[in-house]
Amino acid sequence: MHARHLLLGFLMVLMPGIASAVPQTYLGGGDLFGIVTVTAEDVDGNVFINTPVVFDIDASQVTLDFEPGSEQISGLDIVVGETQPLYVIFDNPVNGLAGVVFSEGTIISVDSVPLTGSDPFYQFVSLDTEVSANVLGLLEGGVGTVGPQSVTSESAESDGQVSILDPNQLEVFLNGVTLAEFAPPPGFPGGSNVEISASFQFVAVVPEPNSVALFAVGAILIGSRLRRSQLSSAA
């Protein structure tokens, strides 16, 4: 999608008077609460971060349709590691890796799924997401790095919850998103793959016209989409 079309879509969000009431798009980021919690396990279920690490979410956008009888989450977009990289350090080295660093990460939904429940609490399951990020591996002993490498992967069947806080504000929980999976780096054969997983929690609001803070959030979202589009075109 061209930048002009992305900007036009964002301006439509900021001007609810000319946008359709259903579905409704909510924006998160800036001063609004938003965190991502990261864990690390191998395929055998061994835990490599005993205390999950928590980072701020840079920007988020979620589109919901509350049409009676067909309630659904029809769009989700989360940006992490844009303003500050996510350093994930293992408690003990894993297959030669001391940790990994994520930057310029985006998580988007690739389908729509029904919402179940009723106001103010809704649930959703089996939401497929696509993750794009620059990933850098930190080798054990500080001897070097692997990457950075642009990685795109799909995470199937994430689930979550939407809580309506008031008519213009909600809270979203998203679980079971795979950020990356690592095989042992070159020179360190053996061992099992390590899966870096994330859960997200954020507050999002219906944007008010002329909101400078949320316009900045929109700019982050637009930039991440353009970068993702460029990566897809180059693939």
Q: What is the pLDDT of residues 53-78, one digit of tens each?
A: 999 999 999 999 988 888 999 989 99
Q: What percent of the chain has pLDDT over 70?
A: 74
pLDDT greater than 80 at residue 21: no
pLDDT reported for residue 33: 93
Q: What are phi and psi of 81, to 5 degrees?
A: 70, 20
Q: What is the pLDDT of residues 170-221, one digit of tens each?
A: 999 999 898 888 775 555 555 677 888 999 999 999 877 655 454 454 555 4
Q: How confident is residue 149, by pLDDT bands cut at 50, 70 and 90?
A: confident
The three-state (H, E, C) secondary structure of 107-168, written as one string: EEECCCEECEEECCEEEEEEEEEEEEEEEEEEEHHHCCEEEEEEEEEEEEEEEEEEEEEECC
pLDDT reported for residue 146: 85
Cα–Cα–Cα angle for 232, 233, 235, nearest 5°? 65
Alpha carbons 190 and 166: distance in angstroms, whole number: 52
Q: What is the mean pLDDT of the chain?
A: 79
How many CA atoms within 13 Å lie on the side-chain side of 21? 2
pLDDT reported for residue 9: 43
pLDDT-wise least confident of 5-19, 118-132, 133-147, 168-182: 5-19
Q: What are phi and psi of 118, to 5 degrees?
A: -155, 160
pLDDT reported for residue 161: 96
Q: How many angstroms separate the Cα of 135 from the Cα of each of 15, 40, 53, 218?
A: 37, 15, 17, 24
Report yes or no: 131 and 104 within 8 Å, Cβ to Cβ.
no
Q: Where are the domains of the chain?
A: 3-234
pTM of the entire structure?
Answer: 0.79
pLDDT reported for residue 43: 73
pLDDT greater than 50 at residue 13: no
Q: What are phi and psi of 155, to 5 degrees?
A: -120, 115
CATH number of the structural domain 3-234: 2.40.160.20
How many CA atoms within 13 Å lie on the side-chain side of 140? 13
Mean pLDDT over 133-141 rounds to 90
Reading phi first (left if > 0) and then psi (alpha if -120 to 50, else beta), residue 222 is in alpha
Alpha carbons 170 and 26: distance in angstroms, whole number: 8
Q: How confident is residue 12, by pLDDT bands cut at 50, 70 and 90?
A: very low
Q: What percent of the chain has pLDDT over 90?
A: 36
pLDDT greater than 60 at residue 125: yes
